[in-house]
Copies of this chain bind each other. A is one copy, B any other.
């Protein structure tokens, strides 16, 4: 496998995976491209490499910046904007964990909490609803605590400490 094959394979795999953590193909591919680019890239560069339109590039770059994993960079003497990704994989993981907790887990936890606190009326169906949503609430909460602990830790923490503890 040569450089170009490897590069394309990485970009398309990352793109496919991205759809599974809730971001679209173009967004994941832009991220993948920036991830392995030694130099910041301009919008033109990205459009060219991935064969996508200007509008698409602009919108997805903005979203990646919202996620906090891509940054705008200015080059001396250049008018246009350049972009880089967070290159540190640990930091990337922390950022993703943080955003997913905020966007998905927290709202779900709130609903589970609300639902599990309805009034018991003695019927089997109400009992079951309360019991199951309580259990899910506890589990989601634990997951959230875990993710937030990870966020609060030093960078190498996940790799070094947790894996060892778990073995």
Contacts and interface: CB of A to CB of B under 8 A. Distances in A.
Interface of A: 1-3, 6-7, 9-10, 13, 17, 19-22, 35-38, 87, 89-90, 93, 104, 107-108, 111-112, 114-115, 118, 121, 123-129, 132-133, 135-136, 138-139, 142, 145-146, 149, 158-159, 162-163, 165-167
Contact of A115 (B6, B111, B142): B6
Q: How many copies does the complex hold?
A: 2
Contact of A138 (B107, B123, B159): B159
A36 B136 CA distance: 11
Contacts of A108: 13, 17
15 contacts: A2-B118, A6-B114, A6-B115, A6-B118, A9-B114, A10-B111, A10-B112, A36-B129, A36-B132, A37-B128, A87-B132, A89-B138, A90-B139, A145-B166, A162-B166
Contact of A159 (B17, B104, B142): B142
Q: Is the interface of A mostly helix, strand, loop or mixed?
A: helix
